[in-house]
Chain A
Amino acid sequence: MRATKIFWLHFRIAAMNEMQYRVNFFLSLFQSLLSLGVGLVVLGLVFGQVHELNGWSKPQLLAVFGVFTLLGGVIRMMLKPNVAQFMEDVENGTLDYILTKPVDAQLMVSTRKFEFWQGVDIVVGSVVLAVAVTQLGGASPLALATLVLGLVLAVIMVNSFLCMLATLAFWFIRIRQLIDMFEGIYQAGRWPISVYPGWLKIGLSLVVPVGIAVTVPASAVTGRLNGWILAAAALFTLVLAGLSRMFWKVGLRSYSGASA
């Protein structure tokens, strides 16, 4: 209850803040449309050569691209800004102000920033996803429900992973490069995980869960998902979230604060 209150409060503050910079919306929209353009060109090039890629048809890959764009929007709007702010706080020692507050610190550091306009990709991704689903001949309510569930799992998965990455800052302080690297790896989510060679498949599911995060929701609307896969994905998400929590607690012990 308290958690949702804090979340909502942060959300409102961020919204008020971002409304001051409305031109950023157009910049964000422009960038979003550019990357949509590139994505469609690539799909066009691929399907100029073949009718399906490892069993995925064009509208099915469009669904993958939609999920990739949507999830990318969530990452840029909510997850990355928080991670960046957190790293800055560890570097400057200003994390003290968070730790002394009477609320859970991990909740605090992962909900306090929203870069609203970056969320344009969520809208663009949803539109792409809707177009893909229409091209596929629609989806049952059950498929849509699993899509939403898959997306929620994906956000938790990526957030847990990013949290663990950020926690490294307690030991190494400067880890901005790792976050930048994540951005590079995330691009792998443009394609279903099955196109990658074996070692990379493992890497994109267990080490950096980008592959699973994008492929599971996309599978929901392309008729590839069954109860078992969904349950496995849910269990994996739970484990990842638990690990990130444990890792955070251990890391916190290494934080020495501003005055130390």
Chain B
Amino acid sequence: MTEKISRFAGMRALYLKNMQVALQREMQYRFTNFVGLLGFMFEPVIYLAVWTSIAKARGGTVNGYSAGALAAYYIVWTLVRSFNLVSTPYGFERRIQNGQISAQLLRPAHPIHYDLSYFAGWKLVSFLFWIPMAFVLTAAFKPSLSPTPLEIGIFVLAIWGGYLIRSIFQWALGLFCFWTTRVAAVFELYMVLEVLLSGRLVPLSFLPPWAQHVADFLPFQWCYAYPIETLIGRLNMTELFVGLAMQVMWIAVGSGLVALVWKRAARRHTAVGN
């Protein structure tokens, strides 16, 4: 019992410390972070411009979204996106190629915790830079957004849930680097599926029914569509809470996958040099 408690305390200390480190380090690169985040803003602005044109051409709405609702969707998108930016398989590839992974293997905690905590700390910096951009986008596109306190509360949980799901699954994908040093092809395919079936490109209700059905079997929508829709008032009470449960379920599935693959991957690893 006591050992369990001290392990928990140790993990908490690791997370807090590493988040602090991330915060301090990333605050040094303010320009880089700001411009980096700005680059991500163009993607939703393009989608928004196109779908707003379509809504206008159809007399005001498209699939039940007015111009204001579309603006709300894609502006909340930007916040959700900045929260679900995670360590990618390319980062993993680099670490294996340059041997950093060997040092990570020697540490007492599972390496995924260092990534999860670092990127979590980084989010606070991203959030800070997101605020002025949100002001500009709001002034430019006039979203209709009026969330209830409950929706805001669930949104706050949901963006972290989405962060965890996306981190864990991309981490699992990164583990394939232990078998092949070129993960790009697999990763690009994964990203295309994500773009189409997550609510990143368009709200899921814009897709044909069969595609929505496929999306229900994948983790992607819980990283984009669900957190976005909690805040823009598209979900009823049941859907709000079921969504959180689904996120917990996908976190569990992803963690299981990482645990399973990690054991085999670490055994395969042979360090060179250093």
Residues of A within 8 A of B (CB): 27, 30-31, 34-35, 37-38, 41-42, 45-46, 49-50, 52-54, 174, 177-178, 180-181, 183-185, 187-188, 190-191, 195-197, 199-200
Contacts and interface: CB of A to CB of B under 8 A. Distances in A.
B42 A53 contact: no
A183 B206 CA distance: 27
A72 to B, nearest CB: 14
A187 B54 contact: no
B188 A30 contact: yes
18 contacts: A27-B184, A27-B185, A30-B185, A31-B185, A34-B189, A46-B54, A49-B58, A53-B50, A53-B54, A177-B31, A181-B38, A181-B42, A184-B43, A185-B42, A188-B42, A190-B46, A195-B53, A197-B140
A45 B119 CA distance: 34
A53 B52 CA distance: 11
Nearest to B57: A50
Nearest to A42: B201
Interface of B: 31-32, 35-36, 38-43, 45-46, 49-50, 53-54, 57-58, 62-63, 140, 182, 184-185, 188-189, 192, 195-196, 201-202, 206-207
Contacts of B50: 46, 53, 191, 195
A54 B53 contact: yes
Contacts of B41: 184
A196 B182 CA distance: 38
A63 B140 CA distance: 29
Nearest to A185: B42
A49 B54 contact: yes
A181 B34 CA distance: 11
Contact of B57 (A53, A187, A191): A53
A187 B53 CA distance: 17
A172 to B, nearest CB: 8
Contacts of A197: 49, 140
Contacts of A37: 192
Given A27-B184, A38-B192, A177-B39, 17 more contacts: A30-B188, A31-B188, A38-B195, A42-B201, A49-B63, A50-B54, A50-B57, A53-B57, A180-B35, A180-B36, A181-B35, A181-B42, A184-B41, A187-B43, A188-B45, A199-B140, A200-B45
A177 B54 contact: no
Contacts of B54: 46, 49-50, 53
Most B CB contacts (10 A, CB to CB) among A27, A50, A53 go to A50
Most A CB contacts (10 A, CB to CB) among B39, B43, B63 go to B39
Contacts of B63: 49
Nearest first, the 7 A-B pairs at minimum CB distance are A181-B39, A184-B39, A177-B35, A184-B42, A195-B53, A196-B49, A50-B57
Nearest to A194: B53
A177 B40 CA distance: 11
Contact of A38 (B38, B39, B196): B196
Contacts of A188: 42, 45-46
Given A34-B188, A190-B46, A184 B40 contact: yes
Contacts of A42: 201
A54 B51 CA distance: 11
B166 to A, nearest CB: 19
Contacts of A38: 192, 195-196, 201
A205 to B, nearest CB: 15
A39 to B, nearest CB: 11
A41 to B, nearest CB: 6
Contact of B46 (A41, A46, A53, A191): A191
Given A34-B188, A184-B42, A190-B46, A45 B35 contact: no
A185 B202 CA distance: 19
A52 B195 CA distance: 24
A45 B63 CA distance: 12
Nearest to A47: B54
B192 A178 contact: no
A45 B201 CA distance: 11
Contacts of A174: 32
Contacts of A45: 202, 206-207
A49 B42 contact: no
Nearest to A52: B57
Contacts of A181: 35-36, 38-39, 42
A177 B42 contact: no
Contacts of A200: 45, 49
B38 A187 contact: no
Contacts of A46: 50, 54
Contacts of B184: 27, 31
